[in-house]
Each structure stands twice: as C-alpha cells, then as structure tokens.
C-alpha cells in the first residue's frame, strides 16, 4: 500500500481521522463501553486504562488466535486478552468466521472480568486498514500469510503503531530493507516472532552464552537441521477453480500476489512462490546468527553441495543445513555447535553438551552475556512502555531473514552466491538480484 512518507505528523493524523470518518468508525470508537469503576481505578489487580496498552490483532488463524486467546505460541495462559496490562480493542481477518469468533470470545472474557451481563467493546474488521486508522490503538499483532507480513507491518508503523510480527517477517530482500527504514523513520517498537530467544527456559540463551564464552573452544561448525529458503516464484496453476467459501474475502487474502482463482482453502505456503523453508527455518537460523555472532557488515557466502547448503561467515565459521550425524537434539528449532574442545546441541526441549561438564559449569560474573528476556510478549509490551529495543528488533530480524535468503538462493540456483548486507544485494549476481523484489498487484506496495 502506497503511503506518503513526507507528510507531517499533523497531516497524518488528519488523514487517519478522515479515513475513520469515511468508514463510519468514529461513532463506534466513541461508543465503546467504559470500564466499571474498580477497573478504572486500577483496583483488584487490574491496571488503570492509562497504563494499559490498547491492541488490535490482524490475522486470526492458528497462530494469531493462539496469541490472542491462548495457545502454543503465547506462553501466557488465556493469551493477550487475559493480560491485565492489555486492552484488546479490535480483531481483524478476511475470514468472517474467524474474526467473529475472536470478537465473541474477547467480549465474553471482558464481560466476566468486569462482572457485566454484556460487554461489546471489541470491534471486528475485514480490512486491516480500518484497524490502523483507529487513533485509540497503540500496537498491533500481525499473524498473516507470508506475503502480507511486511506490507501490514510497515503500514502499521507508518500509522503510528508498535508492531509484533510473526515470521517470516519478509519474503524478499527489498522488503527487509523497507522494514528497517520504516521502523527507524517512524521510531516504532518492533518485535519479530522468533520467540526462542526469550522462551523455553532460557536454553537457547544458555547455549549462546556458553559458545560465545568458548566453553567448546573455538567455534568451527554449526549444524542447522533445516534448509534455508527464499522467494523464488514459478508458474502457478490457475485452472483448478473452486467456489470461494462464504465469508472469505479472497481478493484481499491474495493482496499483492498475482490474481489466481480460489482452488481450495488458502494456506500460508503459497504454491510455487518459495524454495526451501521460510517458515520453520527462521527459528533455527535466528539462534545460529545470535550464537555465531559474525560481523554483520561482512558478506555472507553460501554454496550448494549435494542437496545441502553450506555457509561461510567472516569469522571462519561454517554452517551446514543438515543434522549433526547421530544427534537428535537440535531438530526442534535449534542447532548443534561444534568447537575445538566439544559441542553443544540445543532445541526447544533439550540442551546437551559433549563433554557433559560443559553444562555443569555456571556462567561466571565476567563472562559475555546476551540480551536477557524470559517472555517474548512481555518483552514487547515492556519495550512499548520504555521505548527500549526489543530482543528481536528489526536489525535482528532482518539479519536472520537475509541469511536465510542467501542460503535459499544458493539452494534455488544450485550454485554459490554471496550477499552484501551493507548494499543489501547479491554481489555481481544479476540472476539472484532479480529475486530481491517482485511486482506486487496494484494497489498493494510498500
């Protein structure tokens, strides 16, 4: 979606108010129910309205609804709507059934909490732009199909919202560049949904600190257990058309993608658009980037070898897109780190070391430490209040995705590629650079 970046703050606010008025939303916002006095005063464990973060939720599939109402990716019982420091105001999805189910659930939660017979303070939307137009919303959580994530995240930041965005946070190199620029220009808080840095009992943080402090000697190799991935479109089949389900806005679901008939329930992995793994892979490679800790300005090299990808970083570390032979730990979002004096493997369920004594030696006071967070959603909300940088801020998220794209391009082209993170392009490689962007269907562009 094209937006005027040169407009002043006052003109942006005026434009947003105009949009709301045209959409008939001012009356809705004004009519939103007030809290009962106890809640208004911040009693009974509740926070006063001025201290709550007002949120909208865009995308209510398995991951989005899990965040909102409680699920595997929330790590807080009952989801965001159960938090006393958050006020959910809006839910949005192109599936009518999803958004109405979420609206009903959230209204019921607040009705019970406030001891009201009825509560109707949650509005449901089909179009995310109506959510972004509301001046009473501070932040949004974006959990949408891959091709929508960077567009909606950038639009939200330009509308003055802080953003939690599920991965993959971009599908092309140019989208990562635009997201970095947008977050910086509009000074927004951004958290990427690569939550392993915060969750799972700190196992990934421990592995990172042990490796960085050379408990396994000099780091030589890393086994990623998963292939990287990249946007690499191929011809789409369009002759298998089925009726569009009632309540689905198919045109809006497609958004920037080329038009194609509906041919079944849409899924996140759009057929023909990707090579490798851009969904599960970011978790593995995010932890690897964190632990390898290379010079983020140095070129990343990747080459293809017998169906696998090999990375070489500026500090000499080699990353392999496969499992460490005979090691089971590392497949669930983790990796295996091999040094001159031992190795460590970590994933969401386990952390192991060889020799075993490595894990028994505590981190010492003068050892290298990394960003400490025990709650990914909590870190996001705290940074909204303090305006401090999140643990998976745009710089972190972009470096991870660009590394993933570099290996993915080697996988797609089945030959070596080198990516320059400073210039944000592949070095002397016109064929690879063709896939740093794609022509988005009007009117959708960043």
Q: Is the pLDDT of residue 333 over 60?
A: yes
Note whether 238 and 156 are same-domain residues. Answer: no
Q: What is the pTM of this model?
A: 0.87
User: What is the number of alpha carbons within 13 Å of residue 419 lying toward its C-beta?
Assistant: 27
**What is the structure's pLDDT at 74?**
75
Domain range spanning residue 80? Answer: 9-197
Mean pLDDT of the chain: 88
Q: Is the pLDDT of residue 25 over 60?
A: no
CATH number of the domain at 330, please. Answer: 3.30.360
pLDDT category at 23 given cuts 50, 70, 90 is very low
d(CA 273, CA 258): 11
pLDDT category at 259 given cuts 50, 70, 90 is confident
**What is the structure's pLDDT at 271?**
56
Query: What are φ and ψ of residue 382, in 5° steps?
Result: -65, -40
Note whether 180 and 267 are same-domain residues. Answer: no
- Over range 360-364, report the average pLDDT: 92
Of 162, 197, 232, the domain-final residue: 197
**What is the structure's pLDDT at 26?**
37
Place of tokens 């060889």: 354
- Which range is least confidently modeled, 41-55, 159-173, 418-432? 41-55
Q: Could you give the number of structural domains in the chain?
A: 2
Q: Is the peptide bond before 105 cis (omega within 30 degrees of 0)?
A: no
d(CA 25, CA 19): 9
Provide the 3-class DSSP secondary structure of residue 426.
strand
**What is the structure's pLDDT at 154?**
98
Of 197, 229, 252, the domain-final residue: 197
H/E stretch holding 384 reads helix 376-386
**What is the structure's pLDDT at 30?**
39
**What is the structure's pLDDT at 51?**
83
Note whether 112 and 219 are same-domain residues. Answer: no
Residue 381 maps to a domain: no
Note whether 261 and 349 are same-domain residues. Answer: yes
Residues 6+ apart with CB under 8 A from 5: 158, 185
Of 164, 197, 230, the domain-final residue: 197
Residue 387 maps to a domain: no
**Which residue in 137, 135, 169 sits closest to 152, CA to CA?**
169
- Phi-psi sector, 29: left (phi>0), alpha (psi -120 to 50), beta: alpha
Residue 277 maps to a domain: yes
- Over range 268-290, report the average pLDDT: 85
Q: Is the pLDDT of residue 21 over 80?
A: no
Note whether 61 and 179 are same-domain residues. Answer: yes
d(CA 406, CA 314): 14
Note whether 143 and 222 are same-domain residues. Answer: no
**What is the structure's pLDDT at 108?**
96
**What is the structure's pLDDT at 235?**
56
Note whether 209 and 222 are same-domain residues. Answer: yes
The arrangement of strands across the sheet holding 53-58 comes to 123-125, 86-92, 53-58, 139-142, 162-165, 190-192
């Amino acid at each position: 979606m094209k937006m005027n970046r040169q407009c002043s703050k006052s003109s942006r606010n005026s434009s947003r108010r105009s949009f709301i008025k045209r959409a008939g939303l001012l009356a809705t916002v004004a009519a939103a129910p007030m809290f009962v006095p106890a809640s208004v005063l911040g009693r009974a464990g509740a926070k006063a309205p001025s201290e709550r973060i007002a949120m909208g939720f865009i995308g209510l599939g398995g991951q989005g609804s899990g965040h909102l109402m409680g699920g595997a990716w929330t790590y807080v019982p009952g989801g965001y709507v159960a938090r006393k420091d958050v006020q959910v105001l809006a839910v949005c999805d192109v599936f009518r059934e999803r958004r109405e189910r979420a609206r009903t659930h959230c209204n019921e939660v607040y009705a019970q909490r406030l001891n009201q017979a009825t509560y109707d303070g949650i509005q449901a939307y089909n179009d995310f732009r109506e959510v972004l137009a509301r001046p009473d919303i501070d932040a949004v959580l974006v959990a949408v199909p891959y091709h929508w994530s960077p567009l909606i995240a950038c639009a939200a930041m330009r509308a003055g919202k802080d953003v939690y965005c599920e991965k993959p946070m971009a599908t092309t190199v140019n989208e990562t560049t635009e997201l970095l620029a947008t977050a910086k220009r509009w000074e927004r808080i951004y958290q990427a949904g690569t939550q392993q840095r915060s969750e799972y009992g700190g196992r990934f943080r421990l592995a990172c600190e042990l490796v960085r402090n050379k408990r396994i000697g000099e780091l030589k190799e890393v086994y990623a257990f998963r292939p990287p991935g990249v946007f690499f479109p191929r011809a789409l089949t369009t002759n298998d058309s089925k009726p569009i389900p009632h309540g689905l806005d198919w045109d809006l679901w497609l958004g920037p993608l080329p038009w194609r008939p509906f041919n079944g329930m849409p899924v996140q992995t759009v057929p023909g658009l990707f090579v490798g793994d851009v969904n599960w892979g970011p978790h593995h490679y995010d932890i690897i980037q964190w632990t390898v800790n290379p010079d983020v300005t140095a070129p990343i090299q990747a080459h293809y070898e017998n169906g696998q990808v090999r990375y070489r970083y500026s500090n000499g570390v080699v990353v392999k897109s496969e499992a460490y032979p005979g090691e089971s730990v590392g497949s669930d979002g983790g990796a295996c780190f091999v040094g001159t004096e031992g190795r460590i493997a970590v994933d969401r369920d386990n952390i192991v070391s060889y020799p075993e004594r490595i894990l028994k030696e505590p981190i010492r006071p003068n050892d290298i430490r990394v960003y400490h967070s025990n709650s990914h959603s909590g870190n996001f909300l705290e940074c909204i209040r303090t305006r401090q940088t999140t643990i998976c801020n745009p710089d972190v998220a972009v470096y991870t995705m660009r590394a993933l794209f570099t290996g993915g391009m080697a996988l797609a082209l089945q030959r070596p590629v080198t990516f320059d993170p400073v210039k944000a392009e592949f070095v002397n490689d016109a064929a690879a650079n063709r896939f740093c962007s794609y022509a988005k269907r009007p009117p959708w562009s960043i």
